[in-house]
């Protein structure tokens, strides 16, 4: 039984539960006699108070949709339900008509993550967002004023599918600092890196094809590959990223169409792949003739140590597709990312993109071009590096103060996240319920695995919250973790499509 709860909605949660269960009964998804979960178990699974579920069940019983039988619990009524409002009785059967692309349509995790910034009652350690208060708004205001005078209506018109030419030329001038040399013709602007992942999946993967990923993996990429109905095979990773000593055998065994990796401050683990392992990955991929999709949104966010060349910078066979974004450094709402790829690949990606959205945000491209051309961009990057390093260290300090002895974590040298591993089994449903009660969010590590995770993990973001709120957020989450552990490791409650408040 899958219930979709929108915690940001103005509709009370008990009414949402009523609506969801009523729809499942009237559509025939829940047949007469179907036994519903006990109130306490469903409340745990949804992360709500038991009274909320009791109230919902009571209303459904009043509508003659449910029966409560001693010794049998709560069941869908076997007699025909009493007439309901005409609008509900004749509702169009949308759910039966929707395509389910490899189960991706049932996973609300990314949608819920994007809704978190509107929640004022939750301290979020889940979202992968930059700090709003550090965005360079004054520089944006100046650039905007200049562009309105210089470009006028051109800012708001269509632009080439490949991207605004001046912006692509500016990117080509920026990339040598990353060791990448290319021309505008080898660049494609995307509506964020998420669209880039989708375009790559559409171009290279057919249903049943295999894609190899580092594991744990960015959950947004897993969603894309599953939606493409690809078979996702995870290569175990350690603190140095994907284990290349295992990769060659896996390529021979599975013959994948694509290798996907995030080697620099990986999401979710924060790992940084060293130079030697990067070279090994490229050698193995070249022998197997498999293209590599390098996702690199965190390159600028290095807090200590020397920069390691990207895979694209090391690529001697022109087989690396390089994907990056400005969403982690600057403005996620502009949705501007970019591909660096051979011209023949860029042309095909552009044709696919043209069918999707014609082109990316024209105004956003001009705005970024102006910021990149000024000193404002480098000044902003320098400022957030200092601020995020302090927040990372504050989170490490809070974990050392509040985390139980059976929690281990890795402090990265860059990026957005601290990756925690639990040396004790904790029910994910109990943890979700307790975290919801305490008003703190996190990303369950299980979302970042193609298969069953080897151990319980959590991903914690340290960039979004202000530095003085990180300690309280960590304290709440560790209290929830210890409370859930005291209740036992049993996986109580049914699995639903409602994740923790992320």
The answer, yes or no, to whether residue 80 has pLDDT greater than 70, is no
Q: Provide the β-strand partners of residue 339.
A: 188, 323
Q: What per-residue confidence (pLDDT) applies to 31? A: 87
Q: List, for residues 301-337, the tens digit of each pLDDT value.
A: 999 999 999 999 999 999 999 999 999 999 999 999 9
Q: List, for residues 427-462, the tens digit of each pLDDT value.
A: 888 898 899 899 999 999 999 999 889 999 999 999
Helix or strand or coil: residue 163? Answer: coil
Q: Which domains does the chain have, with CATH numbers?
A: 13-98 (1.10.10.10), 109-134+379-486 (3.90.1150.10), 137-373 (3.40.640.10)
- The answer to whether 496 and 3 are in contact (CB under 8 A) is yes
Instruction: Work out the burial of residue 492: count CB atoms within 10 Å of its CB; fewer than 13 is exposed, 13-18 middle, 19 or more buried.
Output: middle
Q: List, for residues 183-215, the tens digit of each pLDDT value.
A: 999 999 999 999 999 999 999 999 999 999 999
Looking at residues 33-58, what average pLDDT do you find?
87
Q: List, for residues 362-373, the tens digit of each pLDDT value.
A: 999 999 999 999
Instruction: Let me know how many helices (H) and strands (E) the chain has, helices first.
Output: 18, 16
For the entire predicted model, the pTM comes to: 0.79
The answer, yes or no, to whether residue 36 has pLDDT greater than 60, is yes
Q: Map 220-241 to HEC letters.
A: HHHHHHHHCCCEEEEEEEECCE
Cα-Cα-Cα-Cα dihedral of 438, 443, 449, 453, to 10°? -30
- The answer to whether 437 and 366 are in contact (CB under 8 A) is no
Q: What per-residue confidence (pLDDT) applies to 229? A: 93
Looking at residues 228-252, what average pLDDT do you find?
95
d(Cα 75, Cα 56) in Å, to the nearest integer? 14
Instruction: Give the pairing of strands 73-76 and 123-124.
Output: unpaired
Instruction: Work out the burial of residue 429: count CB atoms within 10 Å of its CB; fewer than 13 is exposed, 13-18 middle, 19 or more buried.
Output: buried
What is the residue-averaged pLDDT of the chain?
89
The answer, yes or no, to whether residue 114 has pLDDT greater than 80, is no
Q: List, for residues 246-305, the tens digit of each pLDDT value.
A: 999 999 999 999 999 999 999 999 999 999 999 999 999 999 999 999 999 999 999 999
Which of 256, 251, 327 is CA-nearest to residue 283? 251
Which of 308, 271, 85, 290 is CA-nearest to residue 179? 308
Instruction: Give the pairing of strands 73-76 and 66-69.
Output: antiparallel
Q: What per-residue confidence (pLDDT) applies to 97? A: 67
């Amino acid at each position: 039984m899958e219930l979709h709860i929108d915690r940001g909605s103005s509709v009370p949660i008990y009414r949402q539960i009523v609506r969801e269960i009523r729809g499942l009964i009237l559509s025939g998804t829940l047949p007469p006699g179907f036994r519903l979960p006990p109130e306490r178990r469903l409340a745990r699974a949804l992360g709500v108070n038991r009274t909320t579920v009791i109230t919902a069940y009571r209303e459904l019983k009043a509508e003659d949709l449910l029966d409560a039988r001693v010794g049998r619990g709560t069941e869908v009524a076997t007699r025909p339900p009493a007439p309901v409002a005409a609008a509900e009785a004749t509702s169009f059967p949308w759910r039966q008509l929707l395509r389910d692309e490899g189960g991706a349509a049932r996973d609300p995790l990314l949608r819920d993550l994007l809704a978190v910034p509107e929640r004022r009652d939750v301290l979020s350690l889940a979202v992968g967002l930059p700090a709003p208060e550090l965005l360079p708004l004054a520089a944006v205001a100046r650039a905007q004023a200049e562009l309105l005078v210089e470009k006028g209506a051109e800012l708001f018109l269509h632009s080439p599918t490949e991207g605004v030419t001046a912006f692509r030329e500016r990117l080509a001038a920026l990339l040598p600092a990353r060791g990448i040399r290319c021309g505008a013709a080898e660049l494609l602007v995307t509506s964020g890196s998420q669209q880039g992942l989708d375009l790559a999946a559409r171009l290279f993967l057919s249903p049943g094809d295999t894609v190899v990923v580092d594991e744990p993996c960015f959950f947004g990429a897993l969603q894309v590959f599953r939606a493409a109905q690809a078979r996702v095979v995870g290569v175990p990773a350690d603190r140095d990223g994907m284990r290349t000593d295992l990769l060659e055998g896996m390529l021979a065994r599975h013959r994948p169409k694509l290798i996907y990796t995030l080697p620099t401050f990986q999401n979710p683990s924060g790992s940084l792949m060293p130079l030697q392992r990067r070279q090994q990955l490229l050698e193995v991929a070249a022998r197997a003739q498999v293209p590599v999709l390098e996702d690199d949104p965190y390159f600028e966010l290095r807090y200590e140590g020397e920069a390691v060349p990207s895979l694209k910078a090391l690529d001697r066979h022109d087989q690396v597709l390089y994907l990056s974004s400005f969403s982690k450094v600057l403005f996620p709402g502009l949705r501007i990312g970019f591909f660096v790829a051979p011209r023949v690949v860029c042309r095909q990606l552009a044709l696919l993109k043209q069918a999707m959205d014609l082109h990316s945000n024209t105004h956003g491209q001009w705005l970024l071009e102006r910021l990149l051309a000024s000193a404002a961009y480098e000044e902003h990057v320098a400022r957030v590096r200092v601020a995020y390093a302090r927040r990372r260290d504050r989170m490490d300090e809070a974990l050392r103060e509040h985390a139980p002895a059976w929690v281990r974590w890795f402090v990265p040298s860059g990026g957005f996240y601290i990756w925690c591993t639990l040396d004790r089994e904790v029910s994910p449903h109990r943890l979700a319920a307790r975290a919801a009660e305490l008003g703190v969010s996190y990303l369950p590590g299980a979302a970042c695995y193609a298969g069953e995770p080897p151990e319980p993990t959590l991903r914690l973001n340290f960039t979004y919250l202000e530095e003085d709120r990180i300690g309280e957020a960590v304290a709440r989450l560790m209290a929830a973790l210890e409370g859930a552990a005291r209740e036992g490791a049993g996986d109580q409650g049914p699995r639903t499509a409602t994740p923790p408040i992320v």
